[in-house]
Structure 1
Amino acid sequence: MGYWLRARPLCLGPLVRRESFLMSRSLKVLLIDSDPARATQVLNPLAERGYEVHRARDAREGLERIYRDKPDLVLLTRDLPDLDGLDVCAALKNDLLLRHLPVFVFETGALLEAELAARESGADDCLSYPVDPEVLDGKIQQTFLRGVMGVNRHPVTGLPGFNAVYQKVQETIQADRPFAVCFLDVRNFRHYNRRYGYAKGDDVLRLTAQVVSCALQSRGRELDFLGHPGADDFIFITDPEDLEGLLAEILRQFDSSMIPLYEPADVRRGYFYWVDRSGKTVRSGLLFLSIAAITDESERPAHVAGLLEQGAELLALAKKSRKSAWVRERRRAGKGGYRPASGRTIQESSLFPPEEDHTGLFQEILRTRSVRLVFQPIVYLETGGVFGYEALLRGPQGTYFESPVTLFSMARQMERAHELDLVSLRSLLQGADSLPAGARVFFNVSPESLFSPLFRELCRGMGKMLDPGRVVLEVTRKRRILDFRRFRESLSFFRELGIRLALDDAQAGTLSLQTLLELLPDYVKTDLSVTRDIQKDPAKQKVFRRFLDFCERNRLDLIAEGVESHPEKQYLLEAGARLAQGFFFARPGPLAG
């Protein structure tokens, strides 16, 4: 935690000469353009000037290369075969992990009008075809010189480093608006490196950044900032509204996301062993996330150093917990300066309960199949008629696993999510006679179940109880798909049976966009963060229109999820949406009759 105590002024470093900057290493440039002649005209002069150049032919391949190859700069055209280039640019700039990546947009039309549209999507620059190699080279130099002198990045996560974090915190506490500054520390990280190696340790850092980024993006807040000042320390800045819900979600997602990074035996024990430099075997607990949150809705602290020191003090308190935990303290102006408003709120993650208390209960639920399904209708916006139902799994009433959050968290922790999906699907098929005739049934499934022979066999024989053409397998975007080629191959099995695919939780950002382009599902369900108060928020309206345009272009059905008010419903209807789901229409419950 030393980074929070070394509060130092922003260091811009020495001025960097143009020649020496590019000589330090070859910049990697990715061009996304389907036209080979234009690509040659752009890339050949750059290669001659020492750039490392790559090309993607469409948006899907481009996003895949961005994740895999990590270019320093992206050049793209608007007229891509599968998506408007401005939508790709906007998705990159909405992604907290990729928004720092410079993007230049190439246009073939009137430059002034095109530049306004490109800037609105977040592009760093806009040029017209044919491209002048000297002008392009100069703009690249200017962009990277500005970046080198003004900001630093963490080499593993690519997030803003200490200097940028320090500056952002200073700007935030000087601004006239409420904020929450949250300090994060990955506990037992050094021990994990000794047990699993530094490469796996880098995976922990990247996954931590992804967890926090996804949680922030799901709420779509204007103030959001995520930085990585060094080692296992992170910081994010956001709006204080519903902060405790956000922190609890981050802890849950962190704990469940880390499970695949351990050996299964270590997860079952709840600890692992590592060998120190003297050769002694040492026992260590699993990785846990500690968060210290400071909010200020009144007068601002005078200097960032004081805030950093308080963050370190609060983190020390959070780290006393034996689980992932967050600590929150509100700062209020008093006679002698700032003081806690009402003490400190401390909350632990409940994902890792004592094994003897809950593991046995979970295994009993799987053995006896003591789960129940509730159903929420998906309706036609114009008429209110029912299009289909989403089947939602619940555990036994009155137990620890009644909530689907604890139920699925334990399933992932024990690597038995596919077994829970089997129990859920069997329950759906056994009650198929009660389903309204002709209505589609959306069934949530974890990605790993699509590779399970038992799950496939059950789907192959479902025709005796339920027409496969009525079944839609709903895959959530929150479980990131790492190998799209294998996943597409697995989907072909289910599509041959007549079963359809839905992508759940679609929102702004490259994860949703890449998944859509790779899988082209039959249905796209927008995340409730897009729908909530959409009638008031132009940014959410823009995201929704992009999804609607994508679905219309590819002949997919869009379902607006999370509708809770008449104004939301009315805006979606006027925007051209056809299907919706949410509490405004009906809460999940048993089927009538």
Structure 2
Amino acid sequence: MEHNAKILLADDSHAIRFLVSEILTNAGFTVIEAEDGQEAIDKTYKENPDLLILDYEMPKKTGFDVVREVRSRTGYLHTPIIIFTAVSDKSTKLEGLGLDIDDYLTKPADEDEIVARVKLLLKRNKQKMDCNPLTRLPGNPSIQARVEQDIAAGHPFAVLYCDLNNFKSFNDKYGFEAGDRVLKTESQIIVSAAMQDPTSFVGHIGGDDFIVVCAFDKAEAIAQEIATKTDAVAPSFYNDEDRTNGYMISTNRKGETEKFNFLSIGIGIVHNTKKPLTSFAMVSNIGSELKCLAKKHENGSFYVLDRRA
């Protein structure tokens, strides 16, 4: 998003607006200008900028007034905001405590500093918005970006599609809080296993689906560790009766009572060592196919490596 980002710049000084706007435009950003606080609010709601740079002292409404107004709207709770101040004043920053201001810049700000701080805030915000709120793992935009990066690099790599078995039935019987504990634990297992490759990437697709991108020569070892540790911890999520029985009784997707094995995980391993992978969509389709094959294995966790040429 960085170089296509839309930035609202609000300052009552035409000279400062001209200078900062030129700096940001040259850095690849789109700049929307406002000369007072009320215009800044109006243009924020009209243009939906990705980041706001607000002068502390402006006519009609101050920078802090704008922050209070903008933060009162749900859609702008996470929009990064930088306050421009004439002096490095501790009292000003203390006044801004509780307003969720992301950063301060003291005038006159250095060109490189302005661009660097804007890029950093946009990057952090993208990561924050992309992360799964439960596991704090990157979501689909970051997953796609990483897979496409490895495709472009052309080196041998693998993508592990990981899907918990019998999670819905577990959730139906034990409730969402218990289900959340399972997902948090599984995410920790996957992250720990992926550390076998220091360059690996772990993402949370959503629900009970996770993904690992790693070097091909580490893929099977990572998958095996995930499977082994998942099977080892699974019984701990059940009550004494279910642990004694070795299974759980719950309802299936048709609403019928059924016996379910303990939680386990199915893993499909896609890689580019037998045939080239040309797109994220291709990787996803093969991964879904292999994951479905792995999930058919009934006795615990299992992984399937694509061995087709």
TM-score over 0.5 (shorter chain) = yes
Residue pairs, 1:491-570, within 5 angstroms: none
Question: Which residue number in structure 2 is paired with residue 89 of structure 1?
Answer: none
Distance 1:44 1:192, change over 3 A: farther
Counterpart code for 2:206? G
Asked if structure 1 preserves the Cα contact closer than 8 Å seen for 2:158 and 2:271, the reply is yes
Question: Which residue number in structure 2 is paired with residue 169 of structure 1?
Answer: 147
Select the structure with the greater relative contact order (CA < 8 A; seq sep ≥ 6).
Answer: 2
Structure 2, unmatched stretches of 5+, are 7-47, 53-66, 79-89, 107-113
> 1:21: Cα distance to partner?
6.9
Residue pairs, 1:4-15, within 5 angstroms: 15=49
- The ranges of structure 1 where at least 4 consecutive aligned residues each deviate by more than 6 angstroms after the TM superposition are 40-43, 138-141, 276-279
Distance 1:183 1:275, change over 3 A: closer
Q: Does 1:271 align with 2:247?
A: yes
Residue pairs, 1:12-31, within 5 angstroms: 15-18=49-52, 20=70, 24=74
C-alpha distance in structure 1 between counterparts of 2:138 and 2:221, whole Å: 25
Q: Secondary structure at the match of 1:47?
A: coil
C-alpha distance in structure 2 between counterparts of 1:287 and 1:177, whole Å: 34
C-alpha distance in structure 2 between counterparts of 1:42 and 1:203, whole Å: 42
Question: Which residue number in structure 1 is paired with residue 164 of structure 2?
Answer: 186
> 1:306: Cα distance to partner?
1.3
Q: Does 1:156 align with 2:190?
A: no
Counterpart code for 2:302? A
Residue pairs, 1:194-343, within 5 angstroms: 194-217=172-195, 219=196, 221-275=197-251, 281-297=257-273, 300-322=276-298, 323-330=300-307, 340-341=308-309
C-alpha distance in structure 2 between counterparts of 1:43 and 1:275, whole Å: 56
Q: Secondary structure at the match of 1:241?
A: helix
Deviations 1:53-104 (A, max 9, x none): xxxxxxxxxxxxxxxxxxxx9xxxxxxxxxxxxxxxxxxxxxxxxxxxxxxx
Counterpart code for 2:272? D
Asked if structure 2 preserves the Cα contact closer than 8 Å seen for 1:211 and 1:253, the reply is yes
C-alpha distance in structure 1 between counterparts of 2:77 and 2:223, whole Å: 40
Query: CA-atom RMSD, angstroms?
Result: 3.4
Asked if structure 2 preserves the Cα contact closer than 8 Å seen for 1:178 and 1:298, the reply is no
Distance 1:255 1:22, change over 3 A: farther
> 1:178: Cα distance to partner?
1.1
> 1:325: Cα distance to partner?
0.3
> 1:273: Cα distance to partner?
1.9
Distance 1:146 1:321, change over 3 A: same
C-alpha distance in structure 2 between counterparts of 1:276 and 1:315, whole Å: 20
Distance 1:134 1:255, change over 3 A: same
Question: Which residue number in structure 2 is paired with residue 49 of structure 1?
Answer: 99
Deviations 1:211-247 (A, max 9, x none): 0111122x2x243000111111111011122432322
Asked if structure 1 preserves the Cα contact closer than 8 Å seen for 2:266 and 2:301, the reply is yes
> 1:312: Cα distance to partner?
0.8
Asked if structure 2 preserves the Cα contact closer than 8 Å seen for 1:160 and 1:227, the reply is yes
C-alpha distance in structure 1 between counterparts of 2:254 and 2:158, whole Å: 43
C-alpha distance in structure 2 between counterparts of 1:44 and 1:255, whole Å: 51
C-alpha distance in structure 1 between counterparts of 2:276 and 2:152, whole Å: 6
TM-score (norm 1): 0.34
> 1:141: Cα distance to partner?
7.2
> 1:281: Cα distance to partner?
3.5
Asked if structure 1 preserves the Cα contact closer than 8 Å seen for 2:264 and 2:301, the reply is yes
Asked if structure 1 preserves the Cα contact closer than 8 Å seen for 2:271 and 2:277, the reply is no
> 1:43: Cα distance to partner?
8.1
TM-score (norm 2): 0.63
Q: Secondary structure at the match of 2:223?
A: helix
> 1:275: Cα distance to partner?
4.6
Distance 1:252 1:276, change over 3 A: closer
Deviations 1:321-374 (A, max 9, x none): 0121000014xxxxxxxxx14xxxxxxxxxxxxxxxxxxxxxxxxxxxxxxxxx
Q: Secondary structure at the match of 1:255?
A: helix
Q: Secondary structure at the match of 1:208?
A: helix
C-alpha distance in structure 1 between counterparts of 2:213 and 2:254, whole Å: 41
Deviations 1:168-224 (A, max 9, x none): 11111121311111100011111111011111111111111100111122x2x2430
Asked if structure 2 preserves the Cα contact closer than 8 Å seen for 1:46 and 1:133, the reply is no
Asked if structure 2 preserves the Cα contact closer than 8 Å seen for 1:191 and 1:274, the reply is yes
Distance 1:275 1:307, change over 3 A: closer
> 1:278: Cα distance to partner?
8.8
Paired residue total: 226
Q: Secondary structure at the match of 2:306?
A: strand
Distance 1:15 1:234, change over 3 A: farther
Distance 1:177 1:272, change over 3 A: same
Distance 1:152 1:281, change over 3 A: same
Counterpart code for 2:122? L
Distance 1:228 1:242, change over 3 A: closer
Asked if structure 1 preserves the Cα contact closer than 8 Å seen for 2:194 and 2:212, the reply is no
Q: Secondary structure at the match of 1:293?
A: strand
Counterpart code for 2:301? S
Q: Secondary structure at the match of 2:216?
A: coil
Deviations 1:420-449 (A, max 9, x none): xxxxxxxxxxxxxxxxxxxxxxxxxxxxxx
Q: Secondary structure at the match of 1:321?
A: coil
Counterpart code for 1:325? F
Deviations 1:83-130 (A, max 9, x none): xxxxxxxxxxxxxxxxxxxxxxxxxxxxxxxxxxxxxxxxxxxxxxxx
Asked if structure 1 preserves the Cα contact closer than 8 Å seen for 2:71 and 2:77, the reply is no
Question: Which residue number in structure 2 is paired with residue 145 of structure 1?
Answer: 122
Residue pairs, 1:338-487, within 5 angstroms: 340-341=308-309
Counterpart code for 1:195? K
